[in-house]
Amino acid sequence: MKTEFEFIVNNYKEFYDNQKTKHNRVLDKEMKEVITQRLPQKIQKKLDLDENIYYVTGSFGMGNYTETPWISIFEKDITVGAQKGFYIVFLFRKDMTGFYLSLNQGVTYLEEKFKGNKPKNKIREVVEKLRNEITLPTDVFPNLDIDLKSNTKNAQNYAAANICSKYYSANNLPQEEVFIEDIATLLEPLKEIKKLIGLRELDDVIDDLLYKENIDDLKHQEDMLYSKPAKTERKPKEPPYKKGYKTFSWQRDGSIAKEAIVLANYTCEIDAAHTTFISSVTGENYVEAHHLIPINQQMNFEYSLDVPGNIVALCPNCHREIHHANKESKSELIRYLLKLKKLELNEFGLSISLNELLKSYGIV
């Protein structure tokens, strides 16, 4: 296995440059055999991968040769192609200084669904959500970002879609046993992904990852409506518990949100004139609770973000605006609310710069 990897990194650039002239037909033939047959077959054999379950293949490109060849291990119940689903892949850098072993995802569905609306942001969002749903062997695969040294669309997509990876330098390739052990290690989170998918369609799983926070927020608003307001002491609080298994979905307390809403007198803190309707539960103007510093940022803070000082009352329109408006509109709202809540945040031991807050909303 090491021999095949060495052959690729030492000869691929010549093979790539040779694609039009074909002056070195021996190299052309051998490179194609190594990438599409010899190395995939050796991986299949050395790891004793059941051919009924796993499909191992490689690609040097379709039509024109690619700058960044790959060797993939597909779990057939998930996918048998690099365009869709989740899989394990060796990704080579354009300059052949090394390559990655990556747990990656196909992006065709997201590219088509969000065409013209920055699909790479959605690709990265799926990655972030999935990282919270499975156990990643980050001690062995520490790289959350990869650089294939290429500006092609495919290379940029592979980089955006990387879930976790390990880098191998061409100058210091390990022995075959290390590659075998590393692949075996990465098969475990792939199995977890298979369980996560279950009997669902892949597109449904991706949609669930993308929209889970929205669904959770709807449940939180409902819980807040029926809760009695808490009486939170104005001092730093311990962080909330994590909700669920292997996730960073932090538990939000409906009674604390209700406390913030009551303190705001059931008015929108962007503009008190933003009246909506009278709630059948509270008998007051309907507003929603929003964590100014997003609750998913809790791991970056010593003290709880689920406190009244970090929760603002917003009319539904302003609430949607702060989540879904263009960057200029969102920035204006966030800047105003941070100024409004700054002293209260300090009471609860919370401090954040405007730039950091904007970054947490994906604006900068």
Q: Does domain 2-199 have CATH number 3.30.920.90?
A: yes
Domain boundaries, the chain: 2-199, 213-360
Dihedral (CA of 172, 173, 179, 181) sign? negative
pLDDT number for residue 132: 82
- Per-residue pLDDT tens, the chain, 364 aa: give them: 999 999 999 999 999 999 888 788 999 999 999 999 999 999 999 999 999 999 999 999 988 999 999 999 999 999 988 888 999 999 999 999 999 999 999 988 888 888 887 888 889 989 988 998 899 999 999 999 999 999 999 999 999 999 999 999 999 999 999 999 999 999 999 999 999 999 888 888 888 888 777 778 888 999 999 999 999 999 999 988 654 434 446 788 999 999 999 999 999 999 999 999 999 999 999 999 999 999 988 988 999 999 999 999 999 999 999 988 999 999 999 999 999 999 999 999 999 999 999 988 878 7
User: Is this prediction's pTM over 0.95?
Assistant: no
Pick the closest to residue 353 from 363, 343, 338, 331 (CA basis): 338
DSSP 239-292: PPPEESSS--EE---HHHHHHHHHHTTT--SS-TT----B-TTTSSB--EEEES
- Predicted pLDDT at 242: 58
Amino acid at 32: K
Q: Dump strand ranges (E) for the chain.
A: 54-59, 70-75, 86-92, 98-105, 164-169, 242-243, 249-250, 288-291, 311-314
Position 324 scores a pLDDT of 86
**What value, to the nearest 5°, has the Cα angle with vertex 71 and ends 130 and 115?**
50
Give the per-residue pLDDT at 244: 43
| 55's tokens | 């499909």
Contact between 240 and 304 under an 8 Å Cβ cutoff? The reply is yes
